[in-house]
Amino acid sequence: MKKPIISKLFLYKHRYGIGYFILFVLFAVLVFLVPLLSPDGLSTPEMNSVVASDNLSVKSLSEGNVVDLPYHALQKASILVFGLNTYSVKLPSIVISFILGVLIILLLNRWFKNNVAIIASILTVLSAPFLYLAGSGTPLIMLVFWPTLLLWLGSKINGKKLAKTIYAFFFAICLLFSLFTPYLIYFAIFIVIYALVHPHLRFMIKSLPKIPFILMSLVVLGVIAALVYEVLRYPDIANQLFFKSHFSWGDFFSNIGNAFLPFFSWNGNIESIFLSPMIGLASIALAVTGLISTTKGFFASRNSIASIFLIFTIVVSGFNPDAAVLIIIPFSILTAHGIRYILEKWYGLFPENPYARVIGLIPISTFLGVMIISSLSHYVFGYRYNPIVAGEFQNDLSLILDNVEPHSTILVPEDSGTFDFYKILQKRGQYIISSNTPSTQDKENITKIATLGKWPAKLPYNLSRIITSQKTSNSDRIYLYEDKTELGE
């Protein structure tokens, strides 16, 4: 019997390669450009992250400053190379999110067929939660990066004998680095228990070469022992790695509620740095469909891992509501399960009709396009104009760099919470940062002054310009003062 002509078409034969290429280009453009458009500023956690990165040194490491060490090292390097600006603060997250997106695509491609993997990858890497992580200059993205990397490496261990050893070695190294990220100690414990309980994984571990396995185990135990030693020397490290600061067991269940309300609430009145809703109704429907479909053959690793990881995410969110971003991982897997289930049912209706399969792409493509466009517009415009979340970000740093002359004195209130952040500009020799009101005698050395916000005390200078911002209700953000003689009077 002659094969249908449609199977010989170039676009049909290479549809997956073309699809992955388009996804790769679109994803790269969005990841590197969207943070410039939205949220259009820096949040308080981002400023605190920059201060922690700037304080990173050999001395601080010897004093136990190891929490989120890989991320802070990257952020410090970015600021040293490109200076302190909005993009350099976010650049580590942008680069890591690009790698994370590729890992998600590779992971889904390994567990599912190409048609399912590519659709699920698009919905995941172009979603609002993922783009938020890409544009947030905080170590929060590491909470998603390490588990995704470990899941992909774990899936690759199940290969040839030589490949097993190599991937097992990288898995052990990455597991060690992940321990520096808060709450991922729980994930390491979860991996050990899951590997011991799951029969297929137990068999896979037993099949590893004995000598490399013993050596890797010794390395892992050695690093864990060193980390435990640091925790004993500096108990504050344990509080940061296991719990959020000021954590109370009485807040455990309320933290879970606060963690997931921004993801699934549609009232838009929740005070959170996450845009509500972070996950659309269509995506939730796909994930629920996938969750139900995994009940058949639950003990297959790819089926059970998503459900168990979902429970793990809920538990960890009780310690810190920000940890709810971990839901990206199980959600992407469950979405893939949902798409797989729908496609299988559709193809089951027309097992011998390739034209019906192609026609089925029309509603699927329309549905996919609506989900992507609505998610992108919701992210970009929501973080710029939604007053609940837009007010969490301010663009004072960009206003200073664009409008205040170098080597000017900038007055920042010491109790504002941002003094240490702007002090980095002085360390780099760009500006002089002070919290004290200059006196008349200072006019011999200081001729140009800028104040971050309206300064409470009267300054012995002339107000020359007011810089405004659309990011705050009180739009007067920077006041520029100059000596009277500098104004030609």
Per-residue pLDDT tens for 188-246?
A: 887 777 777 767 667 766 666 676 667 667 776 776 776 677 777 777 777 777 766 66
**Pairing between strand 476-482 and 462-468?**
antiparallel
Q: Which phi and psi (to 5°) does residue 483 adopt?
A: -65, 145
CB atoms within 10 A of CB 8: 9
Strands 409-411 and 448-452, how do they pair? parallel
Examine the domain organization and report whether 447 and 383 are in the same domain.
no
At how many degrees (to 10) do helices 301-317 and 252-264 cross? Answer: 120
Indicate if 357 and 339 belong to the same structural domain.
yes
Q: pLDDT band at residue 436, thresholds of 50, 70 and 90? A: confident
AA identity, residue 416: S
b or e along 258-282 (b: 16 or more beta carbons within 10 Å of the residue's beta carbon)?
bbbbbbeeeeeebebbbbbbbbbee
Q: What is the C-alpha separation between 390 and 379, in angstroms, rounded?
A: 11
Return the minimum-mean-pLDDT range out of 19-23, 315-319, 376-380: 19-23
Q: Kindly state the tokens that stand for 246.
A: 């000021």
Please write the tens of the pLDDT for every residue from 64-90: 677 888 899 999 999 999 989 988 999
Of the two residues 153 and 60, the one the predictor is more confident about is 153
Confidence of residue 270 (pLDDT cuts 50, 70, 90): low
Supply the range of the domain harboring residue 152: 15-390
Q: Based on the domain organization, do 406 and 385 belong to the same domain?
A: no
Average pLDDT over every residue of 180-188: 83
Tell me: pLDDT of 469 over 60.
yes
At position 460, the amino acid (one-letter code) is P
> Is the per-residue pLDDT at 24 higher than 60?
yes
Closest by alpha carbon to 146, among 116, 109, 188, 115? 188
Q: In this structure, is residue 6 part of a structural domain? A: no
The verdict on 162 and 51 lying in the same domain is yes
Query: How many domains are there within the chain?
Result: 2
User: Are 372 and 476 in a shared domain?
Assistant: no
Encode 340-365 in three state secondary structure. HHHHHHHHHHCCCCHHHHHHHHHHHH
Domain boundary among 341, 368, 390: 390
- How far is C-alpha 106 from the geometric centre of its chain's CA atoms? 18
What does the pLDDT read at residue 444? 64
Judge whether residue 344 has pLDDT over 90.
no
Q: Does residue 277 have a cis peptide bond before it, meaning omega lies within 30 degrees of 0?
A: yes
Residue 304 lies in a domain: yes
246-268 per-position pLDDT tens digit: 667 777 888 888 788 777 776 55
> Does one domain contain both 437 and 326?
no
The angle at the Cα of 30, spanning 28 to 31, to the nearest 5 degrees, equals: 65
In a domain, 153, yes or no: yes
Distances (CA, A) of 469 to 120, 396, 410, 418: 39, 8, 17, 17
Whether 1 is in a domain gets the answer no
Q: Tell me if 291 sits within 8 A of 315, measured CB to CB.
A: no
Q: How many residues does the chain have?
A: 489
pLDDT digits (tens, 9 = 90+) for 417-426: 788 899 999 8
CA distance 138 to 183: 15
Closest to 133 measured CA to CA, from 99, 75, 183, 94: 94
- Could you write out the DSSP letters of every residue in 312-336? HHHHHHTT-GGGGGGGHHHHHHHHH
Of the two residues 411 and 166, the one the predictor is more confident about is 411
Q: Which long-range contacts (CB under 8 A, 24 or more apart) does 354-358 make?
A: 354/4, 354/6, 354/7, 355/4, 355/6, 358/6, 358/12
Same domain for 352 and 467? no
Per-residue pLDDT tens over the stretch 100-141:
988 998 888 888 888 888 888 888 888 888 888 888 889 989
Same domain, 421 and 372: no
**In this structure, is residue 37 part of a structural domain?**
yes
381 and 469 co-located in one domain = no
Q: What is the mean pLDDT of the chain?
A: 79
Residues 212 and 270 in one domain: yes
pLDDT the model gives residue 487: 47
The domain boundary residue, chosen from 337, 357, 390 = 390
The sign of the torsion formed by the CA atoms of 169, 173, 178, 184 equals positive
Same domain? 243 vs 384: yes
Q: Which of 352, 369, 390 is the last residue of a domain?
A: 390
pTM for the model stands at 0.85
Separation between Cα atoms, residue 130 and residue 115, nearest integer Å: 21
Task: Give me the residues paired with residue 465 across strands.
Answer: 480
Residue 8 maps to a domain: no
Do 37 and 376 touch, CB atoms closer than 8 A?
no
Nearest alpha-carbon partner for 90 in 132, 54, 118, 152: 132
Whether 10 is in a domain gets the answer no
Ranges of beta strands (E only) in 128-270 are: none
Specify whether 345 is located in the same domain as 468. no
Q: 3 in a domain, yes or no?
A: no
| Beta-bridge mates of residue 467 | 478
